[in-house]
């Protein structure tokens, strides 16, 4: 069974919605060389098959965090930064950080932060993950990396950071700072 690559990137939940779980392995195998180093149609990213597989692994690892209460129960208890982050280029949503994971290293399946878009009814929709290392915890002159991509300097927060926008597709790119498909319009509705 072949499914649209955008759905495959979104991860385990979307794959499950499109068919039996065993089809996910078939889809990855079917993607094969024809998709290696090809731009993703939704974002224009140059993603390799390894990138896509890794993003799907992240989506599976944080699937329970679609429920913000489950994320809080797992230690993602601190809003950092406080409030809903937005700019003229889009938004990031509300970030919840797990302080125990802020340890000077990044690990693919345990992001330091999870991000949510506030909804009109006061609920929040999971939109992606954020990896972060405070400047004072990184002594190497080269930036830290994840999936072969360097984390970016965020001078305002004094951290190295990188997003993975999954499950929310980001038209600006899977690893972009801002997502024009995310809004803080309903941030006042979140308790």
For 152, the token pair is 């970016």
Confidence bin at 82 (pLDDT 50/70/90): very high
Nearest 5°: the CA angle 81, 125, 9 is 100
Q: Which residues are CB-neighbours of 95 under 8 A, at least 6 positions away?
A: 79, 80, 81, 85, 113, 114, 115, 130
Q: Check residue 40 and give its pLDDT.
A: 54
Nearest to 183, CA basis, from 108, 118, 98 = 118
Q: Are 159 and 134 in contact (CB under 8 A)?
A: yes
pLDDT in tens, 157-182: 999 999 999 999 999 999 999 999 99
Q: Check residue 34 and give its pLDDT.
A: 35
For 117, the token pair is 């878009």
Q: Give the pTM.
A: 0.77
Q: Check residue 12 and give its pLDDT.
A: 25
So where are the chain's domains?
A: 5-61, 65-189
Q: Check residue 45 and give its pLDDT.
A: 73
Query: Scanning the structure block, which residue is given the tokens 């809004």?
Result: 183
For 157, the token pair is 């927060």
pLDDT in tens, 36-74: 444 454 556 789 999 999 999 999 999 999 999 999 999
Residue 8 has pLDDT above 60, yes or no: no
pLDDT in tens, 85-128: 999 999 999 999 999 999 999 999 999 999 999 999 999 999 99
Query: Scanning the structure block, which residue is given the tokens 């994840």?
Result: 146
The three-state DSSP-derived secondary structure of 56-104 is HHHHHHCHHHHCHHHHHHCCCCEEEEEEEEEECCEEEEEEEECHHHCCC
């Amino acid at each position: 069974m072949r499914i649209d690559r955008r759905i495959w990137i979104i991860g385990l939940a979307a794959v499950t919605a499109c068919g039996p779980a065993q089809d996910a392995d078939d889809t990855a195998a079917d993607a094969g060389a024809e998709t290696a180093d090809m731009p993703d149609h939704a974002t224009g990213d140059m993603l390799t098959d390894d990138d896509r597989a890794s993003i799907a692994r992240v989506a599976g690892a944080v699937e329970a965090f679609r429920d913000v209460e489950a994320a809080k129960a797992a230690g993602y208890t601190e809003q950092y930064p406080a409030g809903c982050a937005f700019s003229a280029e889009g938004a990031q949503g509300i970030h919840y950080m797990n302080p125990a994971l802020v340890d000077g290293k990044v690990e693919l399946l345990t992001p330091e932060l999870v991000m949510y878009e506030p909804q009109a009814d006061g609920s929040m929709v999971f939109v992606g993950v954020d990896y972060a290392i405070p400047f004072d915890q990184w002594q190497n002159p080269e930036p830290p990396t994840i999936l072969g991509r360097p984390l970016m300097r965020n001078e305002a927060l004094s951290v190295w950071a990188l997003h993975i926008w999954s499950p929310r597709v980001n038209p600006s790119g899977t690893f972009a700072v801002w997502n024009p498909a995310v809004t803080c319009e309903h941030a006042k509705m979140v308790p």
